[in-house]
Amino acid sequence: MGADISMAKIPQATVGKPSGLVARTGHILDGLIRWSTELTAAALVVAEVVLLFANVLYRYALHDPLIWGDELASLLFIWLAMLGAVIALRRGEHMRLTTFIARLTPSRRAFVDTFGAVIVVAFILLLLSPAWEYVSEEWAITSAALEISNGYRVAALAVGLSLMLAISVARLMEQARPRHFLLSVVVVGTIAAALTSGKTLMTSLGNWNLVIFFLVAVVFMIVIGVPIMVAFGLSTVAYLSTVTVTPMLIVVGRIDEGMSSIILLAIPLFVFLGALIEAMGMASAMIRFLASLIGHFRGGLSYVLIGAIYLVSGISGSKAADMAAVAPALFPEMKKRGEDEDELVAMLSASGAMSETIPPSLVLITIGSVTGVSISALFTGGFMPAVVGAIAMIAVIWLKNRKKDLKVVDRATPSAVGKAFLVALPALALPFVIRAAVVEGVATATEVASVGVAYTFVVGLLFYRCFDWKRLYPIIVSTASLSGAILIIIGCATAMAWALTQSGFSRQLTALMATAPGGVMGFLVISAVAFVVLGSFLEGIPAIVLFGPLLFPVARSLGINDVHYAMVAIFAMGLGLFAPPFGVGFYAACAIAKVDPDGAMKRVWPYLGALAVALLVLVAVPWVSTGFLPAA
């Protein structure tokens, strides 16, 4: 959202489910994989939090760093990522576009779901043998600190793919009609045979292969609801197998490289932190304070919504967590005051776009990982772009409410405001604790979320005392699922970006973008438009992993500050992510608020228009992104 917004639940086919031995066998297999993966992944999430917090404690407080800490964290991390991807596949939570297939009849939807599942199986089968070969290749390499074989770490890829294959087969056994399954296998097999037999012809097409594999094939798979990670991965494998002689072992290595960056370990920790602040009651405390402060003005709770999203984004890093924390706390009271639910969802959706740059956004962490930009600088530069977006949205709210009759709302007394502030103060302090820990060198950008988790547990249990311990295990499993779905996309997108680079596309793109009309400003405007479009289809994290390594060098060659370009790209992707009819973030907001998207779609455009103006301000005024960076 960050990346996680497009984590739409994948409805399983309900038409013509097979019964009998095949279905029961699939159900048993599914259950075995569920408990083994979920329990293990939950233990890994807890282990990572404890290990990273111990790293901070030993290094900063005891001045005795754990020299093996990062290495063990990296080993556990790849296992967490792959088991999380398995859980996401079993729960139907991988990122995918459902806009088009949702409009199909149940019977056609059942076939498309089966066809998509067969495509997933084909992708896994193509990588499974190379993944185990990769384990064998890495077995001879010994880690520096732990002095164990690197094969133990990369075995996660092979085991994860094997479990994903088992899950896919179990799901087909449970739910697919035999006729749909056979037809899907025939179609996929025919395409594979055509590519295999037509290698000479395909090679002669030159750059048209890039259009066929990385545009037509990817768009087709995304449109029919195939998970984005499979769309990226299968198109890459098909391209390299058909047009080049590149061994698939290299693809597995690139996926490993993309998923294994220690910086990305911040993703599951911040996802976990985002869920905790809602469960601990900290988000509600902040919202109550803002409501007591400005809730009596015309459109007051609308301003509270913007402020709450801004504050919560600064803690959770997850757009889904932001909206899920704010909407239930604010929407009932806003409806009592006569607000239309479609208007509420429009504001909620647009505020998600507005807050994409607020640290510790998962997209900020990812962009730092794949482009080499300082995450500390990105965290510093991310606040003001969101302020510009918030001001733009506030202007729209003021215009809409300036003549509205205000229902009688009692203004909170100064003592009530003060009391609400004191109650919210421990929660309000969390974003500053996180930022201070990074800036002051107490913790790295990877470790800081563990500090936030520890702070949240202490404050939540001592001050707010509303945590239901029964929620902890589901939160941890959901953290693993969401993190795995995000990280495997990063791995597959890394392999796809490598294939594009090897094809020469990156050099051609660099030359084309460098000569864009209008110089620096023309390049920034074209980039902004491109990332809006990419955000609509791919979501922020896949888009930035795929195109960040290609476009950031061009921006640097034109003298554009890395942080400035990053903020333009992230803000633009957020705008696309929450813009209907394709932006999956918009539909996530509708799902959280339980509102029909058709009505909200008509109300969201004024807010998105205001954010488009804010984006132009970011493009034209670099100071908004770089003004608070320390002097070089």
Spatial CB neighbours of 605, under 8 Å, sequence gap ≥ 6: none
The whole-number average pLDDT for the span 408-419 is 79
CA distance 109 to 103: 8
Flag whether pLDDT at 17 surpasses 80: no
The whole-number average pLDDT for the span 265-289 is 82
248, part of any domain: yes
534, part of any domain: no
pLDDT of residue 7: 40
- The CB density around residue 612, as the number of other CB atoms within 10 Å, is 17
Q: Is the peptide bond before 426 cis (omega within 30 degrees of 0)?
A: no
HSE-CB for 135 with a 13 A CA cutoff: 15
Flag whether pLDDT at 315 surpasses 50: yes
Amino acid at 599: G
8 Å CB contact between 34 and 90: yes
Q: How confident is the model at residue 14 (pLDDT cuts 50, 70, 90)?
A: very low
- pLDDT tens figures, 375-388: 888 888 988 999 99
Percent of the chain with pLDDT over 90: 29
75, part of any domain: yes
State pTM to two decimals. Answer: 0.77
Q: How confident is the model at residue 9 (pLDDT cuts 50, 70, 90)?
A: very low
8 Å CB contact between 57 and 454: no
| Coil, strand or helix at 361 | coil
Give Cα separations from 8 to 229, 250, 590 (angstroms).
14, 31, 11
What would the 3-class secondary structure string for 202-269 be? HHCCCCHHHHHHHHHHHHHHHHCCCCHHHHHHHHHHHHHHHHCCCCHHHHHHHHHHHHCCHHHHHHHH
pLDDT of residue 82: 94
Beta bridge partner(s), residue 149: 142
145-159, 347-361, 475-489, 509-523: lowest mean pLDDT where? 509-523
Tokens of 429: 């302090």
Flag whether pLDDT at 184 surpasses 80: yes
Residue with tokens 């979920």: 38
8 Å CB contact between 361 and 353: no
Instruction: Tell me which residue of 289, 274, 265, 263 sits closest to 452, measured CA to CA.
Output: 274
Flag whether pLDDT at 111 surpasses 50: yes
Tokens of 468: 């239901």
- Which is higher by pLDDT, 5 or 371? 371
Opening angle at CA 486, ends 353 and 316, nearest 5: 50
- Which is higher by pLDDT, 357 or 297? 357
Length in residues, the chain: 632
- Which of 8-17, 147-156, 348-357, 539-548 ranks highest by mean pLDDT? 147-156
Domain total for the chain? 1
CA distance 303 to 393: 9
206, part of any domain: yes
428-444: string of b/e by CB count within 10 Å (b at 16+)? bebbebbbebbeeebbb
- Which is higher by pLDDT, 241 or 18? 241
Q: How confident is the model at residue 11 (pLDDT cuts 50, 70, 90)?
A: very low
Q: Which domain holds residue 90?
A: 3-263
442, part of any domain: no
Flag whether pLDDT at 626 surpasses 50: yes
pLDDT of residue 586: 79
564, part of any domain: no
Flag whether pLDDT at 6 surpasses 60: no
Flag whether pLDDT at 157 surpasses 90: yes
Q: Which residue spans within 281-336 are E strands per DSSP? A: none
- pLDDT tens figures, 559-592: 899 999 999 999 998 898 888 766 767 776 776 6
129-138, 207-216, 584-593: lowest mean pLDDT where? 584-593
The whole-number average pLDDT for the span 445-458 is 86
Residue with tokens 């801004």: 310
The whole-number average pLDDT for the span 305-315 is 76
The whole-number average pLDDT for the span 60-73 is 84
The whole-number average pLDDT for the span 86-96 is 85
pLDDT of residue 506: 64
The rounded mean pLDDT for the chain is 83
Instruction: Tell me which residue of 130, 147, 151 sits closest to 139, measured CA to CA.
Output: 151
Helix, strand, coil share (%) of the chain residues, nearest 5: 80, 0, 20
Instruction: Tell me which residue of 278, 321, 280, 329 sits closest to 301, measured CA to CA.
Output: 329
Instruction: Tell me which residue of 345, 279, 267, 307 sits closest to 7, measured CA to CA.
Output: 267
The whole-number average pLDDT for the span 487-504 is 82
- pLDDT tens figures, 326-346: 776 677 767 776 677 788 888
8 Å CB contact between 320 and 588: yes
The whole-number average pLDDT for the span 192-196 is 90
The whole-number average pLDDT for the span 149-173 is 92
Q: How many helices (H) and strands (E) does the chain have?
A: 30, 0
| Coil, strand or helix at 142 | strand
- Which is higher by pLDDT, 496 or 626? 626
CA distance 356 to 358: 6
The whole-number average pLDDT for the span 252-267 is 83
Beta bridge partner(s), residue 142: 149
Instruction: Tell me which residue of 494, 483, 545, 591 sits closest to 98, measured CA to CA.
Output: 591
475, part of any domain: no
340 torsion bin: left (phi>0), alpha (psi -120 to 50), beta (else): beta
349, part of any domain: no
Flag whether pLDDT at 162 surpasses 90: yes
pLDDT of residue 271: 79
8 Å CB contact between 258 and 264: no
pLDDT of residue 4: 39
Give Cα separations from 210 to 213, 240, 328, 372, 505 (angstroms).
5, 11, 45, 27, 8
Flag whether pLDDT at 204 surpasses 60: yes
| Coil, strand or helix at 68 | coil
- Which is higher by pLDDT, 179 or 283? 179
Percent of the chain with pLDDT over 70: 89
The whole-number average pLDDT for the span 267-293 is 82
pLDDT of residue 80: 94
8 Å CB contact between 149 and 138: yes
- Which is higher by pLDDT, 138 or 504? 138
pLDDT of residue 321: 61
What DSSP letter does each residue of 556-616 carry, written as one string?
Answer: HHTT--HHHHHHHHHHHHHHHHTSTTT-HHHHHHHHHHT--HHHHHHHSHHHHHHHHHHHH
